[in-house]
Copies of this chain bind each other. A is one copy, B any other.
Amino acid sequence: MQQYFVNEYIENKDYSLNANDSFHILKVMRKKVNDKIYIAFKGGERYVCNIKKIDNNTVIVFPELEVNISTELPLETTIAIPPLKGTKIEFLIQKSTELGVNNIILFNSERNVAKLKNEKIDNKISRWEKIAKEAAEQSKRGIIPKIIVLKDINELISYCDNYDYKVIAYENEAQNKGNDNLKNLFKKNLNNISLLAVFGSEGGLSENEVAKFTDAGYTKVGLGKRILRAETAPIFFLSCVIYFSEIL
């Protein structure tokens, strides 16, 4: 059953969906009156809703049954990464949303070729937010991850000062150092904590940037023996977070 996000929840009332969602329900999913859909309301409540009426291409639903099973991870997980080239960043937003991320921070580093610029950034953010919303609907998340754009590493470090655990992914092909740090992270109780993981772009982070993060208290973690692409490393990390917070 497909899920949609809507803003308010008014108890025991019919709810009219917006034009975009109505179009998707009627034309893409081909739903009819008395078919069911999931709706996640802004406060995090999720309901099985009955399609009560279709009024001039607007879908009107009635929330029938609250769904009490949370699909959210028991911690707040944030990934921070410079924007990647082409569609890679869109791919990463989609996949990390499926994998339960709460916040995706984009920042400029020394080596990322695709820079965040002030002009057109609002358009880009809207597009990224749309990708996150659609992926959250598809994977039946309770929330839509936030997309946050920060100027540079200094702003990132200051913005994330209050996180409980802060790690930086560090590839060291030859020696695979940092794996113990990853193990130690996942030995901790991850319930109700906030966790930030920073990744480099295609060209990686510079030694100078890595030093800035470690000086600010970030722990370097290794991600196995192979060289993962920039967009694959966060997916690997989030998969481990799911395992250790939800399955183990």
Contacts and interface: CB of A to CB of B under 8 A. Distances in A.
B183 A140 contact: no
A247 interface: yes
Contacts of A235: 95, 235, 239
A100 B246 contact: no
Nearest to A244: B243
Nearest to A1: B173
B174 A69 contact: yes
Contact of A247 (B71, B183, B229): B183
14 contacts: A69-B225, A71-B226, A99-B226, A99-B236, A139-B227, A179-B247, A183-B247, A222-B247, A224-B247, A235-B235, A235-B239, A236-B239, A239-B239, A240-B243
Interface string A137-175: 011110000000000000000000000000000000110
Interface in A193-248: 222, 224-229, 232, 235-236, 239-240, 242-243, 246-248
A81 interface: no
A246 B180 CA distance: 11
Nearest to A222: B247
A104 B57 CA distance: 45
Contact of A228 (B139, B174, B225, B227): B139
